[in-house]
Amino acid sequence: MAKLTEFESKKIIKQAGIAVPRGELVSTPRQAEEVTMRIGLPVVLKIQSLYTGRFEKDLIKIVSSVEDLKRTLDYMFDVHCSEIKLQKLLVEEKYIYQNEYYLSVISDDISLSPLILFSENGGIDIEKNSENIVGRPLNILNGVTGEDISFLTNGASVNSDLGDVIKKLYDVYRKMDCCQLEINPLVFSEEKFVALDAKIIIDGDALYRHKELGVQLTEENLNREPTSLEISAAKIDENDHRGTVHIAELDQPLQKKGTRIAINCVGTGVGLSIMDELIEQGYMPANFGDTSGNPTASKLYRAIRLIFSQKDIKGFVFASCVSSQQLDNTARGVIKALKDIYPETGGKPGIPCVFMFRGAWDKDAMLLFKEHGISDSENVIMLGRDSNEYNVACEFDKLYKTRKSVPNNVKNVRV
Amino acid sequence: MLRMLEFNILSGGNVSIDLTKCKSCSTKACIRNCKSSKTRPVLVLKDGVPDLDFGFDELEKGACTECLACELDCQLYGNKAVIIELTVS
């Protein structure tokens, strides 16, 4: 999935005929002041970030005076520049209104259809007011009907133009291949409905149809910007659909908690189980990694190179589920990567590593590690199909504790 | 005689084989373990050295399964003639 920023989302819904506040994107305080003068005080300053809950995080500020503007801009650019890598700020006119509505279209897993959600109690606390949200699954062949609109807005003291907004929003949902499209709040002001905030999430599988957006598809870290490693990882699958690579770094606050262990697994479930088991043993996974769907060895090579490029990695764990994936190919990709990362030892890793191969061609995979001398390394433990995720974490723990006492052994990975 | 055999692969990167080293190779390990997405291997023996059984365009479209066996086996059992360069962003 690909999440668009508020500004990008508003641009799209504006083109569909839904009113949005006047506003411009800026990247310096001076530009922000110029835009404010053009629009006129009061204005709303909104950092364009994929974080949710921006209001609570102080990423949205309302400014009513020139003095306030300068002070707020200094704060936003100085503080947030370093903390969240502020790139763009949206300066927008401030609307006066009475009620906030919530309007959204989502792809509903239960009804297997688009689902329109509407509430008369929109705004920042929408999650707390979920009992007031009315939902209406749509027949995708019919689109939004008058009956749907009546159902959604039944008893709502709103202008009949709301039906028009609902229809336009649904059209955007279809045209842009959205998973989720949300306006919150939608307000009625100056005789029209205005979308004060908007969010669009596009189905990742349909992103190729929207190259005009210039969005890079990465793992589903919808609450933050993708890291450079995640962007690189997404490129591995870009032109080669033989198997898949999914790599996501853990969020920043977690990265400093515990000894960082890199991970790559065959199968998402195994990946998550290994992460849980490592945490139980007192370690902190540096990343989530999954290379499955029978990927080529070259995909494994690239994935391992990227995973080992993370900073301050003190160990590595590889585990496969009992799958039909051709694990000898998987092993070749891993072996080539290790040989390139550790050329001076012929691929024997400089950090403790546990490899668990289970499934098709697992014995061949183990044999390849032996043939290339990697499993002879004192930093390596090989486990087979009689092992489980718990065993992997325990074996890693024993290995790490043994090897870290060896001088200069557990050191940063050089890639 | 051709001195280098080179071809591009689907995922981005290329395979190069230094044929001058292959003549004296007794195992031809690269051919022994070569696989392909179709019914025949990519590498075949011709005039005592590896040759391609697919066109360059077919290889670039995925005929080579990129299993890396040719390079790794050549390192262990051959004359270290195969090098696979894989781009990493």
User: What pLDDT digit, counting tens, does each position of A253-266 carry?
Assistant: 666 678 999 999 99
Is the CB of residue A259 less than 8 Å from the CB of residue A282?
A: yes
The verdict on a CB contact (< 8 Å) between A329 and B84 is: no
What are the C-alpha distances in Å from A330 to residues A182, A299, A302, B63? 41, 9, 11, 18
Domain count along chain B = 1
Other beta carbons within 10 Å of A140? 10
Per-residue pLDDT tens over the stretch A223-256: 677 888 998 998 998 889 899 999 999 876 666 6
Contacts of B11 in chain A (CB under 8 A): 236, 239-240, 296, 298-299, 302
**Comparing C-alpha atoms, which of A189, A193, A211 is closest to residue A202?**
A211
What are the C-alpha distances in Å from A350 to residues A44, A375, A397, A411, B29? 52, 13, 16, 7, 29
More confident residue, A37 or A86: A37
Rounded-to-integer distance, Cα B42 and Cα B72, Å: 16
Q: At what angle do helices A327-341 and A297-308 cross, to 10 degrees?
A: 40
Other beta carbons within 10 Å of A397? 19
- Would you give the DSSP letter of residue A99? -
What are the C-alpha distances in Å from A34 to residues A38, A305, A377? 6, 46, 63
What are the residues whose beta carbons fall under 8 Å from the beta carbon of A55, sequence distance 6 or more?
A124
Judged against a pLDDT cut of 90, whether residue A412 lies above it is answered with no
Burial of residue A233 (CB within 10 Å: 0-12, 13-18, 19+) is buried
Mean pLDDT of chain A: 90
Per-residue pLDDT tens over the stretch A11-37: 999 999 999 999 999 988 999 999 999
The residue written with tokens 């641009």 in the block is A11
Which residues of chain B have a pLDDT value below 50?
none
Percent of chain A with pLDDT over 90: 69
Which of A81-85, A110-114, A179-183, B5-9 shows the lowest per-residue confidence on average (mean pLDDT)? A81-85
The verdict on a CB contact (< 8 Å) between A297 and B88 is: no
The first and second tokens of residue A169, run together, are 């929003």
The verdict on a CB contact (< 8 Å) between A298 and B9 is: yes
Q: How far apart are the first and last CA of chain B?
A: 36
Helices (H), A104-222: 146-153, 161-175
Q: Among partner residues A235, A301, A372, which is closest to B89 by beta-carbon distance?
A: A235
Q: What is the mean pLDDT of residues A381-398?
A: 97
Contacts of A332 in chain B (CB under 8 A): 67-69, 72
Rounded-to-integer distance, Cα A97 and Cα A44, Å: 14
CATH code of domain A228-403 = 3.40.50.261
Residue ranges covered by each domain of chain A: 22-93, 100-204, 228-403
Judged against a pLDDT cut of 80, whether residue A363 lies above it is answered with yes
Instruction: Give the domain range for residue B54.
Output: 4-86
What was the ipTM of the complex prediction? 0.96
Rounded-to-integer distance, Cα A35 and Cα A120, Å: 32
**Comparing C-alpha atoms, which of A239, A241, A236 is closest to residue A264?**
A236
Please state the length of chain A: 415
Rounded-to-integer distance, Cα A353 and Cα A278, Å: 13
Contacts of A242 in chain B (CB under 8 A): 10, 62, 65-66
Per-residue pLDDT tens over the stretch A191-206: 899 999 999 999 988 8
**CB-based contact, B62 to chain A, within 8 Å:** yes
**Comparing C-alpha atoms, which of A9, A5, A8, A50 is closest to residue A220?**
A50
**CB-based contact, B71 to chain A, within 8 Å:** yes
Using the Cα atoms of residue B47, residue B53, residue B56 and residue B60 in order, give the sign of their dihedral: negative
Is the CB of residue B7 less than 8 Å from the CB of residue B59?
A: yes
Burial of residue A90 (CB within 10 Å: 0-12, 13-18, 19+) is buried
**CB-based contact, B80 to chain A, within 8 Å:** no
Rounded-to-integer distance, Cα A294 and Cα A241, Å: 10
State whether residue A117 is helix, strand or coil. strand
Question: Residue B50 forms beta bridges with which residues?
Answer: B45
Burial of residue B32 (CB within 10 Å: 0-12, 13-18, 19+) is middle
Q: Give the homologous superfamily in CATH for domain A100-204.
A: ATP-grasp fold, B domain (3.30.470.20)
CATH code of domain A22-93 = 3.30.1490.20
Judged against a pLDDT cut of 90, whether residue A135 lies above it is answered with yes
The verdict on a CB contact (< 8 Å) between B89 and A231 is: yes
Q: Among partner residues A232, A299, A368, which is closest to B11 by beta-carbon distance?
A: A299
Question: Residue B51 forms beta bridges with which residues?
Answer: B44
Size of interface A-B (CB pairs under 8 A): 59
The residue written with tokens 């050089």 in the block is A414
β-strands A287-292, A134-137: how paired?
unpaired
Which of A61-70, A270-279, A348-357, A372-381 shows the lowest per-residue confidence on average (mean pLDDT)? A61-70
